């Protein structure tokens, strides 16, 4: 069962949202649509932090490790001895390791974003209902509290 509340002004909209949250509704049961960003809504709903940061960390660490393995393996496979420097010289590899960290972190973050958003379908990009300049609260749940 779904309920919908429409408001033309921001203040009654925020009051109704506070009332619904005090009745025990969680942020997962509510869908909120606003004509412009309302920062008070995010403060009221207080969603948990996104798990996307773990994808970024995993991507960055795997990119760092891949960059290190790639440069060391390349240097050992085709050694260029010049000026008495060691074959595996880490200061020269830092740039490649940094670039791989950024590349893998970005790509795996994007893939993690798609996975967390459940690989969105083209039909779901646009909401079929247009609310215009109204503030809307929708309640999605089996039981009304």
* Domain range summary for the chain, segments of one domain joined by +: 2-49+123-140, 52-116
- What does the pLDDT read at residue 122? 66
Overall pTM surpassing 0.85 (yes/no): no
H or E segment and range at residue 93: helix 90-116
Q: Can you say whether the dihedral through the CA atoms of 2, 139, 19, 36 is positive or negative?
A: negative
Give me the residue label for tokens 């996104």.
50
Mean confidence (pLDDT) of the chain: 88
CA-nearest of 120, 11, 113 to 52 is 113
Strand order in the sheet with 30-33: 2-7, 135-140, 30-33
CA-nearest of 100, 97, 96, 78 to 87 is 78
Rounded CA-CA distance 106/87 in Å is 30
- What does the pLDDT read at residue 28? 86
- What does the pLDDT read at residue 26? 87
Residues of the chain with pLDDT under 70: 1, 120-128, 142-145
Q: State how far Cα 127 lies from the chain centre.
A: 20
């Amino acid at each position: 069962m779904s309920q919908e509340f429409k408001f033309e002004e921001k203040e009654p909209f925020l009051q109704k949202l506070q009332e619904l949250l005090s009745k025990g509704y969680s942020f997962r049961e509510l869908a909120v649509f606003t004509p412009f960003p309302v920062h008070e809504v995010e403060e009221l709903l207080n969603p948990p932090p996104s798990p996307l940061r773990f994808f970024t960390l995993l991507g960055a660490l795997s990119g760092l490790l891949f960059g290190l393995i790639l440069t060391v393996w390349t240097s050992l496979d085709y050694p260029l001895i010049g000026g008495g420097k060691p074959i595996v010289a880490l200061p020269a590899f830092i740039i490649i390791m940094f670039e791989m960290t950024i590349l893998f972190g970005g790509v795996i973050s994007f893939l993690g974003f798609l996975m967390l958003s459940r690989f969105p379908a083209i039909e779901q990009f646009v909401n079929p209902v247009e609310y215009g300049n109204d503030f809307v609260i929708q309640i999605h749940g089996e039981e009304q509290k």
